[in-house]
Structure 1
Amino acid sequence: MFLALKEILFNKKRFSLIIFLVVLISYLVYFLTSLAYGLASSYTNGMNKTEAKYILLDNDSNDNVMMSILTSDNFSEVTSTKKAKLGIFPGVASKANKESKLDVYLFGIDDFDFFLPKENIQIISGNEVIVDTKFEEEGYKIGDEIVLSGSDIKLTIKGFVNKATYQTAPIIYLSLDTWNNYRYGVNKEIYNMIVIKDTPVINEGSNLKVYKNSEYYQTLPGYSAQVLTFSMMIIFLILIASFVLGVFIYVLTIQKTSIFGVMKAQGIANSYISRSVVAQTLIITILGTVIGFILTFISGVFLGGKIPFAANPLFYGVISLVFYLFALVSSLFSVNAVVKIDALKAIGEV
């Protein structure tokens, strides 16, 4: 460690460039991870706010919630201590003057305690709605009226909910009756899914299909593709960063062959020199990733409200450990080069 630090401090410019490279790559990886997690969360935040562990759709809907049409008869086919009805439908919301239009998802629900258990918002009635804070960012206030495209129904905002999104669009929570009036033009009990808190018991012969909440996310259009795409990008970036760092350290090691030869001639053991090379690699990687993480945190502060940016300490920790592991493995090539150095040949005696 002492030798590693002394060399880094002695060759500040050379090692600063290497650390700068690690900073850029680690910052890119952390930032992409935050974007990927934020984007994935914006697909699922709305459902994660429920107490639902299981979701039931019409088996003929082919995993498409919009094609799942359920009635009160379907609801009675399910036995559960805690169950609720949910209707989902896309729409365009605007103020009464038709300004500030937003693409939204309408969640028609019959049990607000089930869907917003942590928000401590009073149950709404009639045309009152609870909306995502995206509306607040657009200048909406409690008491403002919202107009839905293709309808004369006017909705009154009663409260705001943070991070209430579905497939990246903000959610409007409204009563199931009002939802039916908007979608079908009549007051009848039709909805898309049944959400269950405990393990459901379904009557034999029922045409309902059961999903775990986490399994349901995989059916959302684009969700699996975007998660896989970002995951592959992050993995390859880590591999490339580790390879580049390993090449830099290996080149530096080869350039110091004569120095290591003199050290060996003086009786310094291979193990000591090898530990120094490994320590040097880890110091560079740790410094680079820490600075990269700080830059990511700063970016999140300034860009968090403008892009789907979300922090996940677990992901950061795993990525950092993978960085260090691959950097350690790459340093072993340099260690192998150190072990093979012949002291006499290195100092030019033979």
Structure 2
Amino acid sequence: MFLAIREMKYAKLRYTLIGLIMVLVAWLVLFVTGLANGLASDNAAVIQKMDADYFVLQEEADNRLNRSELSAGQVDAIGGEPFGVRMMTIEHTGKVDVTVFSMNPESEIMPRIVEGKSGVVADQSLQMTIGDQFTDSITREVMTVTGLTEGQSFSHTPAIFVTEGPVSAVAVQSKSIHVDGVELLTKKEALQSIPGYKEEQGSLMMMIVFLFMIAAIVLAVFFYVMTIQKMHQFGVLKAIGTHSIYLARTIIYQVIIISIVSLLISVALVYGIAFVLPVDLPFYLTPSLTAGTSLLFLAVSVLGSLLSLYKVTKVDALDAMGGSF
């Protein structure tokens, strides 16, 4: 550790530049991760937060919740918590696309009401207040908001929860369902079947993977070049009895120090920027996701230094010093 810190103090400019690059890459990784998580939540928050492991749908629905419709007999035979899903365009201050979920307000899958009571519960993103009225643009039915919920959306539209409507699916905890004309989906399969969910997450995850690869390559190239430049010094150190493992630890310490400092700065930057982002931008980064992404970034950084470690272990003292002995 002593040698690692002393060398970093001596070559401040070099290590500051690589640190700056790592800050930018780490910030971009965290930002895209938050964006991916925010888009996933905006596209499927209702299903993600629903207390259920499996969903029972109509067999001909192609795994789509909004295409499924179960009969009363099927619902009774299945048990569990039934709910309906349908898309609607409402008229309030203007026309807005929403997803309407019909479910028993006393059921375990009903989201928490933050204000008001059950009946017609609208998500706060619709910017409605209790007592506001809106109209179904097709049936011209007028509804009055009785309660508000928070963070509930489906297919990038705000959710509205009502007490009555056709049953699209049943949320269950067990997969032992024996009813004709239905199919059983896991929560993951139900999420993947939401239009655009799999494609969005796949594209963003590919970006995140490439960013991790870039981080590993940048660190690998930087430390490899610096290792080659210091071959003479490594040769002298080996000649006086310094073990290869000590020199390898020096490089690892430098990688870890740079990565940790870069991550701390990047986390502060990404949370600072999150405060000024528009409210309609789907960005969501939890502490656990931040910690997991940071640990993975640190592991990738250490992995990127393995080429330099190999070079150090193969240094021959006599050759490194130009055969002066």
Q: TM-score with structure 1 length normalisation? A: 0.84
Paired positions, count: 324
What's the counterpart of residue 88 of structure 2?
91
Inter-partner Cα distance in structure 1 for 2:85 and 2:213: 41
What's the counterpart of residue 191 of structure 1?
167
What's the counterpart of residue 236 of structure 2?
262
Query: Does the Cα contact within 8 Å between 1:22 and 1:241 map onto a contact in 2?
Result: yes
Give, in angstroms, the shift of residue 263 of structure 1. Answer: 2.9
Inter-partner Cα distance in structure 1 for 2:117 and 2:266: 45
**Residue 157 (str. 1) matches residue 145 (str. 2):** yes
What's the counterpart of residue 135 of structure 1?
126
3-state SS of 1:114 partner:
coil
Moved over 4 A (4+): 120-123, 197-201
> How big is each residue's C-alpha offset from its partner over 1:223-266, in whole Å with a ceiling of 9 and x where there is no partner?
22222222222122112211111110111111122222333344
What's the counterpart of residue 172 of structure 1?
160
Alignment of 1:196-235 (within 5 A): 196-197=172-173, 201-203=177-179, 206-235=180-209
Comparing 29-38 and 303-312, the one that deviates more: 303-312
Give, in angstroms, the shift of residue 114 of structure 1. Answer: 3.4
User: Residues 160 and 305 of structure 1: is their aligned pair in 2 closer, same or farther, counting only changes over 3 Å?
Assistant: same
What's the counterpart of residue 182 of structure 1?
none
User: Residues 49 and 349 of structure 1: is their aligned pair in 2 closer, same or farther, counting only changes over 3 Å?
Assistant: closer
What's the counterpart of residue 66 of structure 2?
66
The letter of the residue matching 2:69 is I
> How big is each residue's C-alpha offset from its partner over 1:157-200, in whole Å with a ceiling of 9 and x where there is no partner?
12211111011210011232xx5xxxxxxxxxx33222335556
3-state SS of 1:46 partner:
helix
> How big is each residue's C-alpha offset from its partner over 1:192-230, in whole Å with a ceiling of 9 and x where there is no partner?
222335556444xx2121222332112112222222222
Inter-partner Cα distance in structure 2 for 1:329 and 1:51: 39
What's the counterpart of residue 184 of structure 1?
none
What's the counterpart of residue 327 of structure 1?
301
Inter-partner Cα distance in structure 1 for 2:18 and 2:109: 50
The letter of the residue matching 1:172 is I
Identity of aligned residues (%): 30
Gaps of 5+ in 2: none
What's the counterpart of residue 144 of structure 1?
132
RMSD: 2.4
Query: Does the Cα contact within 8 Å between 2:64 and 2:190 map onto a contact in 1?
Result: no
3-state SS of 2:190 partner:
helix
User: Residues 72 and 3 of structure 1: is their aligned pair in 2 closer, same or farther, counting only changes over 3 Å?
Assistant: same
> How big is each residue's C-alpha offset from its partner over 1:79-112, in whole Å with a ceiling of 9 and x where there is no partner?
x3x432x2211122232xxx34322111122444
The letter of the residue matching 1:109 is M
Query: Does the Cα contact within 8 Å between 1:304 and 1:310 map onto a contact in 2?
Result: no
